Structure 1
């Protein structure tokens, strides 16, 4: 990296508070303008070529009990820098990432004798903007409380928006597609708590009428609450809304400190928004010296059978139990407990037979009889198995089959309890051969009054990832804050849920067919999602006709295959029951083949809410995999195969929707065909309503 700092004299800048600074991106695609208003308010604006991305928008931070950094400010120094480097992620969508930007660092000073300072650091890339607030060491600003931000994103028009409500405790909503002027969360049933009716979550995806795609999110969320956005439905202005702590303030800080980066990804092509690595580039490199133990993988699990009412998490149907005083061996088993030794062995056998690395087991530990909805402090101890779950025997059996068991830690929202017991729980894991864990945070948070997306919980998630890295444990977090690229810093943090996953099809109205075409433009902008694809038994009544009447997954079977490519994650669940796959081993072959780690990714076709086609190159192999999905509308696509290596003939195995396929009426019909192709070939894809196509490309055998 090369940095060239240029300092401007304070006397020069003091002559005019509105003196503007302009920064252009490395290839001049974007231009940033910064100035102070006559009232000393920091203002910035952003343009893409001749198109206005953001009109003049305010910046600033309000403090509790102290003068804020929002007006009456003067510029005392401006520095500039630039960088151009390439780095290799531990795992990811591409083998190498270029980090190229120009930077502007503006030092602002409050009026008065204390001369307290705040800096605004802008980094302008060819695909967008990142900026954050920084507080250097200063004798008159040491401990301080952020009450709220004045950060604005003032849009020039009434863009189309893809949004979910600004719920402080959940992101598990179906996306709404409206104009900004139509944002209103009141008709939507809240999952837990939410802010004002016009508050939405990030990442927020926007599209202008003249074809500009704008994505607003944040990067490197550390020691700070998540940022929601208040929508001014008349003026199309977005204002930062920080998730409050239990006291009502946003963040308790000590200088030197800085906020997360606020990010704006911009392009006139939807495909380039998905290809952006801006958020990753704004995160810190990992400090881990040894990353050889971090293994991207696929896994099956004792999980879906509970969602489809074929088994239960709880061992007994007795409720109101106390963790320390209950004789679990004396409880009457309900006969439906899924995490029993024999059943787990069945999953281990299936994984070993088909080359699947891991087996997740949920419901193995005591406490599930009385775990949800009671805001209870001590539910789980994370080390005591149910009487029918033999930890030692399953460890021995899994080792013999070459399969790794994956631990499950559901906290029931009682995070103070989990933090007290985490050391013992991780020792238990390592003693019994577990090196990956899925954590869960269902329910209201303890400490009471804190939110899933507030500063206290953000610190918990990051602390947990760091703690587990020291123990060489990989983690997949569910019900956590939405990711902001921290998997670069903590590469053992393989995935999160943090959105409405595939499971909602089993016990709600389900995810509409467009859902998976929106998620890559929203939730996945910040990092991988454990979406749990791969459901083959689309109609769920077959598992339990009485309790699953009318329920189904809202895709075709072929689309479930394509999701392994379009929904990026280094941790992909093979979500259905083994018997569902045993009946369709020909289609299951794609799941067995498709990698979870990649050398290259090409976003071929994309439009948020409509369709998505992506091709990826397997790590260390000359093999490509393609996934194409659509919403409720059937589509034909022409795909050029120019991403393939030239002068090589490949055998394409095409897993497509069958004749008459339809996500609702006929979802499980599919067809598989093979043909030889080269980089000069074109393929015509026919996607059924709610359907998709999955293709593997392997060098043809002579």
Structure 2
């Protein structure tokens, strides 16, 4: 329940309109007047403009939806209704333990001038950290969304960056040269003004992508081959078209606009939803233990990972593809354990080989038994499944079976759908998982995050990025420092950071194809910086044990937080993130290929309290290409107001645990 709620509904404003359908422009300001939206009609066409912190961000831009039955004769204004709200609510998990929802809202009521005289409401919310617009359609029956005509025309040819699927991010590039097609689109309007365009509360129709209209003007276009959004049952509301706003890049990451635009948690019981770290078999495959053990996709390897996870308080183990048979074979039953051994004959090829399990073997694949083994060691098991299995087997029965086995969640891969079908199918899978108390993670081109983890907290993460070592490549340090200011603005990311062995991985592991561009301290830092309800740890237990002091930073991360701050940040260059759990702060920094010297100001610590800090640092010789595994650990005393100079190697990182002195 909200800690406090203030909701004020202003008087309805019924505006007179002339025979030409003209009405005076209306301005909506955010509570502290940082952001303002101007709405107007130009020859019956709705328009909007956006200002922030003294800067004109968007010049006059079109608003509207194109429906199956086109609007006739433009619009006239019926009136407007205002509302304000100020409340605090508690998420099940997230970047902070309390979220303030403080906004002013305007519902602009329009009437079709000719034809059927249909209603269209344009709902605008103004937060101090961003603005959002959605459409409300009235009537009965069904309506086809032919196109979204919402445009955003920037006032200058500014520098921008954007998400780019499972490939390196786009940018820095001028808006006039931008050739991408994926939100978020982050723009530097001025040194003290940053904006990011994206979409919130994607539930009922196709999600959107940016489509160029002019040199610095773009349109929300439905992500579909024919650019149609799908069919909606009336009355209906669209998703929110959002512009996040901040004076620094870090401001974009600390606001809660995306969450606040989504409906509250619909789960009656969320006590079973536990964020956490997860061991993972896929990238560890081929790794060697000190005793000569070689990790495979088998029971011995999985039990070994569970033992390690249990010892270090790691919550989960993820079984990736092929535990129930070849993932793209329609005959592979997702409710049975495979009865053969899989291996990779050629390390340079993704193709797998199979061979019979040893006769009379006492270690045949038995996933239900493995799940019980995990339960006995307080480690949950998450199971891979994909579209092939869902399409060929009863999915309700499959998820009920996983629940009966005691599985903790699913990782869903390779959904071969698009448009509205992909959105609705994803929503149904998340809902079905919630009914069976299963966490949910989507990979391989998922529907973008949109703040929907508020509504379905079991939707803990998704691979809305280039995950480490995925797509047969490894991302660069610059890509990481861009992804966090683009993709991560939409929501939790499954980026799979945390390797502790970085030398010759591509030579021994079938699922690591290129060298990892990082240092071990940067790998630890990335686990904290990348916000996610589920963080996959891609290395072997022995790799983590070999750097036990550094691994302590990762193992202690709670993955749900009381407070988050961005202490430093330049898109594509560097970032410092501080997250608090209780009275302990975890602070991590990463940089691009050039290295960095970052000042970490600890003015947020408690006054009059003595702290001790453990620092995990690159050394003078560390380099993300030539000396990846060199690091040092040291301890210092701290107090409020102290400043730490963090020296990061090229492609490197810096980590700190700051806690009350005992």
The normalised TM-score by structure 1 is 0.85
Tell me if the contact between 1:172 and 1:498 (Cα under 8 Å) persists in the aligned partners: no
Deviation (angstroms), 1:310: 8.5
After superposition, give the CA deviation of every residue in 1:569-618 in whole Å (9 maximum; x if it has no partner). Answer: 12112221112112211211111112211101111111111111011111
CA distance in 2, matches of 1:545, 1:205: 36
User: Match for residue 536 of structure 1?
Assistant: 500
Matched residue count = 629
Tell me if the contact between 1:226 and 1:455 (Cα under 8 Å) persists in the aligned partners: yes
Give runs of aligned pairs for residues 135-150 of structure 1, distance below 5 A.
135-136=137-138, 138=139, 142-150=141-149
Tell me if the contact between 2:522 and 2:590 (Cα under 8 Å) persists in the aligned partners: yes
Residue 244 (structure 2) aligned to one of 265, 272, 276: 265
User: Match for residue 588 of structure 2?
Assistant: 627
Is the aligned partner of 1:497 residue 2:468? no
User: Match for residue 421 of structure 1?
Assistant: 394
SS in structure 1 at match of 2:145: strand
Tell me if the contact between 1:280 and 1:486 (Cα under 8 Å) persists in the aligned partners: yes
CA distance in 1, matches of 2:592, 2:566: 17
CA distance in 1, matches of 2:288, 2:229: 44
CA distance in 2, matches of 1:113, 1:548: 61
CA distance in 1, matches of 2:47, 2:304: 61
Tell me if the contact between 2:160 and 2:172 (Cα under 8 Å) persists in the aligned partners: yes
SS in structure 2 at match of 1:666: coil
Is the aligned partner of 1:605 residue 2:605? no
User: Match for residue 153 of structure 1?
Assistant: 152
CA distance in 2, matches of 1:636, 1:653: 18
Deviation (angstroms), 1:499: 1.3
SS in structure 2 at match of 1:367: coil
User: Match for residue 193 of structure 1?
Assistant: none
CA distance in 1, matches of 2:275, 2:510: 38
SS in structure 2 at match of 1:651: strand
Deviation (angstroms), 1:223: 1.0
Deviation (angstroms), 1:473: 1.4
Give runs of aligned pairs for residues 4-83 of structure 1, distance below 5 A.
4-9=9-14, 11-12=16-17, 17-38=22-43, 40-64=44-68, 66-68=69-71, 72-83=74-85
Tell me if the contact between 1:14 and 1:76 (Cα under 8 Å) persists in the aligned partners: no
CA distance in 1, matches of 2:509, 2:203: 46
User: Match for residue 488 of structure 2?
Assistant: 524
CA distance in 2, matches of 1:675, 1:309: 35
Tell me if the contact between 1:364 and 1:389 (Cα under 8 Å) persists in the aligned partners: no
Distance 1:249 1:592, change over 3 A: closer
CA distance in 2, matches of 1:225, 1:395: 36
CA distance in 2, matches of 1:55, 1:552: 45
Give runs of aligned pairs for residues 337-376 of structure 1, distance below 5 A.
338-368=296-326, 371=328
User: Match for residue 250 of structure 1?
Assistant: 229
CA distance in 2, matches of 1:615, 1:545: 33
User: Match for residue 218 of structure 2?
Assistant: 238
Residue 659 (structure 1) aligned to one of 604, 609, 620: 620
Residue 572 (structure 1) aligned to one of 535, 538, 541: 535
SS in structure 2 at match of 1:2: strand
Distance 1:541 1:416, change over 3 A: closer
User: Match for residue 649 of structure 2?
Assistant: 688
Residue 125 (structure 1) aligned to one of 120, 124, 127: 127
Distance 1:632 1:13, change over 3 A: farther
CA distance in 2, matches of 1:268, 1:655: 30
User: Match for residue 188 of structure 1?
Assistant: none
Tell me if the contact between 1:310 and 1:543 (Cα under 8 Å) persists in the aligned partners: no
After superposition, give the CA deviation of every residue in 1:192-250 in whole Å (9 maximum; x if it has no partner). Answer: xxxxxxx5210111112554211000100011111100124x530011111226x7632
Tell me if the contact between 1:219 and 1:279 (Cα under 8 Å) persists in the aligned partners: yes
Is the aligned partner of 1:459 residue 2:424? yes
CA distance in 2, matches of 1:363, 1:157: 47
Give runs of aligned pairs for residues 396-475 of structure 1, distance below 5 A.
396-412=372-388, 416-417=391-392, 421-441=394-414, 445=416, 450-451=417-418, 454-475=419-440
CA distance in 2, matches of 1:384, 1:478: 22
CA distance in 2, matches of 1:439, 1:50: 45
Deviation (angstroms), 1:379: 5.2
Tell me if the contact between 1:338 and 1:363 (Cα under 8 Å) persists in the aligned partners: no
Distance 1:146 1:681, change over 3 A: same
SS in structure 1 at match of 2:7: coil
Is the aligned partner of 1:650 residue 2:652? no
After superposition, give the CA deviation of every residue in 1:619-640 in whole Å (9 maximum; x if it has no partner). Answer: xx21110011111121111111
Deviation (angstroms), 1:18: 4.3
Residue 295 (structure 1) aligned to one of 271, 274, 280: 274
Residue 386 (structure 1) aligned to one of 318, 321, 338: 338
Tell me if the contact between 1:380 and 1:411 (Cα under 8 Å) persists in the aligned partners: no
Tell me if the contact between 2:265 and 2:457 (Cα under 8 Å) persists in the aligned partners: yes
The unaligned stretches of length 5 or more in structure 1 are 185-198, 312-334
CA distance in 2, matches of 1:102, 1:489: 22
Give runs of aligned pairs for residues 667-686 of structure 1, distance below 5 A.
667-686=628-647
Deviation (angstroms), 1:12: 4.8
After superposition, give the CA deviation of every residue in 1:234-276 in whole Å (9 maximum; x if it has no partner). Answer: 530011111226x763211111101100000112222211111
After superposition, give the CA deviation of every residue in 1:623-663 in whole Å (9 maximum; x if it has no partner). Answer: 11001111112111111112222222121110111221111
User: Match for residue 321 of structure 1?
Assistant: none
CA distance in 2, matches of 1:602, 1:431: 40
Tell me if the contact between 2:38 and 2:49 (Cα under 8 Å) persists in the aligned partners: yes
After superposition, give the CA deviation of every residue in 1:152-178 in whole Å (9 maximum; x if it has no partner). Answer: 00001111111245xxxx554443321
Deviation (angstroms), 1:436: 1.6
CA distance in 2, matches of 1:111, 1:569: 48
SS in structure 1 at match of 2:181: strand
User: Match for residue 516 of structure 2?
Assistant: 553
Deviation (angstroms), 1:146: 0.9
Deviation (angstroms), 1:416: 3.5
SS in structure 1 at match of 2:309: helix
SS in structure 2 at match of 1:521: coil
Is the aligned partner of 1:220 residue 2:201? yes
Tell me if the contact between 2:287 and 2:509 (Cα under 8 Å) persists in the aligned partners: no
After superposition, give the CA deviation of every residue in 1:662-689 in whole Å (9 maximum; x if it has no partner). Answer: 1112111111111111113111100111
Deviation (angstroms), 1:548: 6.6
Tell me if the contact between 1:84 and 1:98 (Cα under 8 Å) persists in the aligned partners: yes
SS in structure 2 at match of 1:457: helix
Distance 1:202 1:431, change over 3 A: same
The unaligned stretches of length 5 or more in structure 2 are 1-5, 340-363
SS in structure 2 at match of 1:4: strand
SS in structure 1 at match of 2:467: coil
CA distance in 2, matches of 1:13, 1:122: 24
CA distance in 2, matches of 1:542, 1:225: 38
Deviation (angstroms), 1:112: 2.3
CA distance in 1, matches of 2:13, 2:645: 58
The normalised TM-score by structure 2 is 0.90
